[in-house]
Amino acid sequence: MAFEFTDTNFESTATKGVTVVDFWAEWCGPCKTIGPIVEELADEYKGTVTIGKMDVDNNQNTPLKYGVRAIPTIIFLKNGQLVDKQVGLATKQALKTKIESALAAKV
């Protein structure tokens, strides 16, 4: 199950190891398409990578900080540093490739 990020818990959660954040909204059709993929990845990488979702309607500070202008946007962090970003829909394999790259990144 994907972690539920908020503006309040983001800094304390996203600063260690690899973190993947899916910025989404309830009214966003493409977000509903990619949502189940994010959930699957959260299960597959449980214990290795923190994967979660942030509702942009209820949390506006963090998306602003990362320049999120369109949703879905997925960011990939390592030790709190942005290492990659995916704007729009992507396949599960494409997201796995980005996660593996983030795990290998030297930050």
SS3 29: helix
- Which of the listed CATH numbers 3.40.50.300, 3.40.30.10, 3.50.50.60, 3.20.20.70 matches domain 3-104? 3.40.30.10
Q: Looking at 28, 82, 87, 105, which residue is catalytic?
A: 28
* Domain map (residue ranges) of the chain: 3-104
What is the distance between the alpha carbons of residues 13 and 11, in angstroms, rounded to a whole number? Answer: 6
Residue 107: per-residue pLDDT: 77
pLDDT mean for each 10 residues of the chain (107 residues): 96 94 97 97 97 98 96 97 96 98 91
Q: Of the residues 2, 21, 31, 102, which is catalytic?
A: 31
Active site residue 28: yes
